[in-house]
Structure formats: structure tokens, C-alpha cells
Amino acid sequence: MALSTTKVEYIVVGNCCARILWIKQQLEDYNIYQNHIPLKCDNTSAINLTKNPIIHYRTKHIEIRHHFLKDHISKGNFVIEYVDTKHQLANIFTKPLAKERY
């Protein structure tokens, strides 16, 4: 069980990274090459965790396997970008819809 939203967002973006790497490999079989793939995230703490190479005492509980994302961002395979909650398209599946907005 995750005790913070930072950990949850960090793990979810890491899982997304692994899936995108699989898709990238499939595209390379068809001679389609992609570099610097953008990943969108709405949690600034999770974004800062990927950019900071130092492990803080508050993040020591995150298992090593979840730092897969940090490694690929430091290599330049991915670029993580902030998306405001208002513009997060996945929210239509996870939050109640306001009639005025949608």
C-alpha cells in the first residue's frame, strides 16, 4: 500500500515508461525510431523525484525497481512534463464530470 500520492504517481509513470519502451521496440522493427518521448504527469513531487539523483529520507521506502524511470530520464530516452490537472485527459475516467466543462 502506498502512503503518499508521490509514490503512487512515480510508480504509475514508471509502469507507463516500461510499456512505452516495449512499443518503441516494436516500432523499431518497422524502422520507425523515436527519441525523447514525452511523459505527462500532474504531480510535481513525482516529477522532481525523477530529476533529482539524490535519494531523500522521505523516498527511501520506494523500492529500487521503481527507479527504472529515473534511469531512462537521465539517459534522455524520456522527457517528463507537467500537465495541469485541468488539462489531464485521464481525469475523465477517474473523476466526476462537470456538465459545464465537458
**Domain range holding 9?**
5-94
State the pLDDT at residue 59: 62
Given a cut of 60, is residue 12 above it in pLDDT?
yes
State the pLDDT at residue 30: 95
Residue 101 domain-assigned?
Answer: no
Residue 102 domain-assigned?
Answer: no
Residue 99 domain-assigned?
Answer: no
- Segment of 31-35, 63-67, 83-87 carrying the highest mean pLDDT: 31-35
Instruction: Name the 3-class secondary structure at 68.
Output: helix
Per-residue pLDDT tens over the stretch 47-61? 888 887 565 655 666
State the pLDDT at residue 56: 60
Joined together, the cell numbers standing for residue 35 give: 527519441
Residue 21 domain-assigned?
Answer: yes
- Segment of 22-31, 35-44, 65-74 carrying the highest mean pLDDT: 22-31
Residue 66 domain-assigned?
Answer: yes
Distance between CA atoms of 89 and 76, rounded to whole angstroms?
25
Distance between CA atoms of 39 and 83, rounded to whole angstroms?
10
Helix ranges, 1-102 (H): 5-28, 44-51, 68-75, 91-94
Angle between the 44-51 and 5-28 helix axes, to the nearest 10 degrees? 60
Instruction: Name the 3-class secondary structure at 92.
Output: helix
Residue 70 domain-assigned?
Answer: yes
Is the overall model pTM greater than 0.75, yes or no? no
State the pLDDT at residue 99: 76
Q: How many domains does the chain have?
A: 1
Q: Confirm if 24 and 34 have CB atoms less than 8 A apart.
A: yes
